[in-house]
Structure 1
Amino acid sequence: MELRQLEYFVAVAEEANFTRAAERVHISQSGVSAQIRALEHELGMPLIDRAARRAALTAAGSAALPHARAALAAADAVRKAVDEVAGVTRGALAVGMVSGCTVTPFFDALAAFHRAHPGVALRLFEDDSARLLAQVRSGRADLALVGLPDGVPGDLGGLAVTAERLVAAVPEDHPLARRQGTTLAELLSHPLVCMPPGTGIRAVLDRACAEQGLHPEITLEAAAPPAVADLARLGLGVGVLSESMVRPPLTAVPITDATGPAVLALVWSRAPNPALDRLVRELCRAFGKRQAHSGEDGEEE
């Protein structure tokens, strides 16, 4: 029996719905269902009646619920007691993010951390990825959400959140919109709209062009992906973005020979810091990922 199984069970019991419970604990609905079935198998009794439209408790589920809540409360009390000794409940953390960031799990994790540890002051600021990396390395920032042309740097703690290919973002009436893909050479025959140097997407584009001896001429630059998309939508140039950044009415056309992915990652200082460790765990939970490159002790969640 695991604490996360009890957490998912309590979430389903209180939400009376597997979908809402999954959103609450930040994992997939199938993941919640599988963990509760594992718990039911271990206990030898069904806890949730799945036949009704609402996820209702069985008699065994009703009997188990207060004890599950008590177990979670006890575990939380243990964490808080240790955190108090370790100094997690006070202090300050400087957290950076790429300009124009709209990554919901990132904000959810910051909010959850603030609720759990109101004594830790969070300072949130925006900058480009290159400067954010430099600030984490220098200690001026504790953690940052950055775009990278490669994986997480080995000298920092880190967690890759997404890795996506570059695409050309064009309106539906653009000649490229009818193509299944385009090459860098073809792309460079059009005016380009891209993010500035220092951003992960620009680094991927510049590297891919350099490998082929190409020299991109950027007509317009914008620091935030939505601004690049708007400029492309207005016909001022072909936008260069990662795949998930392109929304209708724009069409995403794969750049077939720009194979290096644009990586969105969390990076953090390896210096011992109990408050930062707790924030990293909250972020890993929000993104539904196990902690990687965690620090000197190599511990994973």
Structure 2
Amino acid sequence: MDLRQLEFLLTVADEANFTRAAAKLRVAQPGVSARIRQLEQELGHDLLDRSGRTVRLTAAGATVLPYARAAMAAVAGARLAVDELTGLLRGRLSMGMVAPYSTTEFDLADLLASFHRAHPAVRITLSEGTADALVESLQTGRLDVAVIGLGAKRPAGLACHVLVDEPLAAVVRADHPMAAAAAIPFAELRERTLLTFSRGTGLRSVLDAASARAGAPLNVAFEASDPGVLVQLVARGLGVGILPESAARALPKLRSVPIVRPRLRGQLAFAWRSEAPSSPAVRAFLQFACDMRPALDSVTEMRSRRQGS
């Protein structure tokens, strides 16, 4: 067994395709297949199921995968540790972000640019996904860190650093009967046609959890992952948007009405594996990001105690 075999196995597992994996590795596809076959013969089990259109791990492959990741991470860590002794920080940072990423409260591009200027030898990759998909990628080690929307519960095995914390509101057109209301109780939303985020997003999880607690099923007629799409639908009078309060600022003809009993909040956070060893590059980025954006957790907890339900 050698590191190149493990690298090939990891890449095929991540890409779910030999052709894409070979292109990523810059190796001919037969070479990738041959090295993985050698590994399977050595272990005495098939690691990949090649029978479908996509390549999947077998039960044996799923068992081997975390060990393969740990071995590759250990080698990378050894190299980076030597670099640290010479004062050079380099390596790789694999980041995910909720799709689409949209907030006026936090500028991810500015943060990444500032970190790159400070550590130009660190290679950064960025990908998009839903909160659920990003959490899974963090837990399985495909991502080092991600910007996710937090739901009603913190994801298992992950540490979180809250970046943005703002109320959810009922967003309506300025000529809507609700526009002049000081607030609307959550239970009254069941009588409205609602527009909100798709399932799998942190904010939708907050809304669904509140609905379950209140025993008040909601009439969600329109779902979208893009807040800009939802804002446009609200502006055309298709219903009441359940969105971050700042979304009402997108168009001057929209108004936000606070939701009370309970007051709901949406949070955007950095997340990473809480117990897995991280590379010097990942540790440096997290320290850099947290220094630039102090955590809002204590602020959130104090606000929750003060507001209650």
TM-score between the two structures when normalised by the length of structure 1: 0.64
Determine the C-alpha separation between the residues in 2 that align with 1:174 and 1:109: 39
Name the amino acid aligned to 2:293. F
Determine the C-alpha separation between the residues in 2 that align with 1:108 and 1:84: 25
Whether the 8 Å contact between 2:165 and 2:296 is mirrored in structure 1 is: no
- How far the C-alpha of 1:175 sits from its partner, in A, is 0.8
Alignment partner of 1:244 is 2:253: no
Alignment partner of 1:283 is 2:289: yes
Whether the 8 Å contact between 2:162 and 2:295 is mirrored in structure 1 is: no
- How far the C-alpha of 1:151 sits from its partner, in A, is 6.5
Q: How large is the RMSD of aligned CA atoms in angstroms?
A: 2.7
Name the amino acid aligned to 2:257. V
Alignment partner of 1:142 is 2:144: yes
Corresponding residue to 1:272 among 278, 281, 305? 278
Task: Write out per-residue CA displacement over residues 251-285 of structure 1, whole angstroms, 9 at most, x where no aligned residue.
Answer: 11011123242221111124221101111122123
Which residue of 2 is the match for residue 198 of structure 1?
200
Determine the C-alpha separation between the residues in 2 that align with 1:269 and 1:112: 23
Determine the C-alpha separation between the residues in 2 that align with 1:189 and 1:290: 34
Secondary structure of 2:123's counterpart equals strand
| Cα 1:291/1:232, change in 2 over 3 Å | closer
Q: How many residues align structurally?
A: 213
Secondary structure of 1:175's counterpart equals coil
Name the amino acid aligned to 2:285. L
- How far the C-alpha of 1:120 sits from its partner, in A, is 1.9
Determine the C-alpha separation between the residues in 2 that align with 1:221 and 1:118: 40
Secondary structure of 2:221's counterpart equals strand
Whether the 8 Å contact between 1:165 and 1:242 is mirrored in structure 2 is: yes
Determine the C-alpha separation between the residues in 2 that align with 1:267 and 1:115: 23
Determine the C-alpha separation between the residues in 1 that align with 2:123 and 2:265: 34
Correspondence list, 1:169-184, <5 A? 169-184=171-186
Percent identity, aligned pairs only?
37
TM-score between the two structures when normalised by the length of structure 2: 0.62
Secondary structure of 1:265's counterpart equals strand
Determine the C-alpha separation between the residues in 1 that align with 2:297 and 2:176: 42
Task: Write out per-residue CA displacement over residues 202-253 of structure 1, whole angstroms, 9 at most, x where no aligned residue.
Answer: 1111111111112222111111222211111111121111222321321110
Name structure 2 gaps, 5 residues minimum: 1-80, 299-309
Name the amino acid aligned to 1:90. R
| Cα 1:278/1:189, change in 2 over 3 Å | same
Determine the C-alpha separation between the residues in 2 that align with 1:86 and 1:137: 32
Whether the 8 Å contact between 1:284 and 1:290 is mirrored in structure 2 is: no
Secondary structure of 2:133's counterpart equals helix
